[in-house]
């Protein structure tokens, strides 16, 4: 696994890097192609926060854990990502039902446009995918929405989770 370790306002020592590499190497068995991992360590108010993001051929697995020590946070993050990987494999095996997107959900009427202050900008590589794959990605990273390029129309679309635990799809005209 290709690992990029980042320390936010702290130095990451060689033994910590070696421990992170050793723990992440255990996840290699789940992937056919070598994935990229980014590990970010930070400490605020005596809480050690460790964030792991793994990009495996466009599929993102992410975990952010705060604990008393980086070792505890690393163990919890590895466990969380391993659960995500197993959950993803199970979902891929079952696949989403054909009626997962009723036509009423494509154009919900209760959307309100609100002005929001942009605080953080993220960039990410993407591959064209279906709405079902986008929902899987959204669930894996634990977000409420996911921006993707539709594999059939090549249009930029957004899937989101609604309050009633259904999904919505926003498509351009």
- The alpha carbons of the chain give a radius of gyration, in whole angstroms, of 18
Express each pLDDT in 25-73 by its tens digit: 888 888 888 888 899 998 888 888 889 998 888 788 888 888 888 888 8
Q: What is the pLDDT of residue 90?
A: 73
The DSSP bridge partners found for residue 160 are: 145, 168
91: helix, strand or coil: helix
- The fourth-level CATH superfamily of domain 2-94 is Ribosome hibernation promotion factor-like (3.30.160.100)
Whether the full predicted model's pTM is greater than 0.85, yes or no, is no
Strand boundaries in 9-151, DSSP class E: 36-44, 47-56, 59-67, 145-149
CATH number corresponding to 100-170: 3.30.505.50
58: helix, strand or coil: coil
Main-chain phi, psi angles of 104, to 5 degrees:
-65, -30
CA distances, 95 to each of 8, 27, 131 (Å): 39, 23, 12
Domain boundaries, the chain: 2-94, 100-170
Of 123, 154, 162, which is closest to residue 171 (Cα–Cα)? 154
Residues with pLDDT less than 50, the chain: 97-99, 101, 103-108, 110-114
Pair of tokens at residue 54: 């793994």
């Amino acid at each position: 696994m290709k690992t990029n370790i980042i320390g936010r306002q702290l130095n990451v020592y060689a033994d910590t890097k070696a421990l992170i590499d050793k723990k992440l190497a255990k996840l290699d068995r789940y992937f056919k192609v070598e994935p990229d991992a980014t590990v970010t360590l930070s400490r605020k108010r005596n809480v050690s926060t460790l964030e792991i993001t793994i990009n495996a051929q466009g599929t993102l697995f992410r975990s952010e854990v705060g604990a008393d020590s980086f070792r505890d946070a690393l163990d919890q993050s590895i466990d969380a990502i391993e659960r995500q990987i197993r959950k993803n494999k199970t979902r891929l095996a079952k696949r989403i039902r054909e009626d997962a997107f009723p036509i009423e959900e494509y154009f919900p009427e209760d959307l309100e446009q609100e002005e929001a202050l942009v605080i953080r900008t993220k960039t990410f590589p993407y591959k064209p995918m279906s709405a079902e794959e986008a929902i899987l990605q959204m669930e894996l990273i634990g977000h409420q929405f996911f921006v993707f390029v539709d594999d059939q129309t090549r249009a930029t679309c957004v899937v989101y989770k609604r309050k009633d635990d259904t999904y919505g799809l926003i498509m351009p005209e």
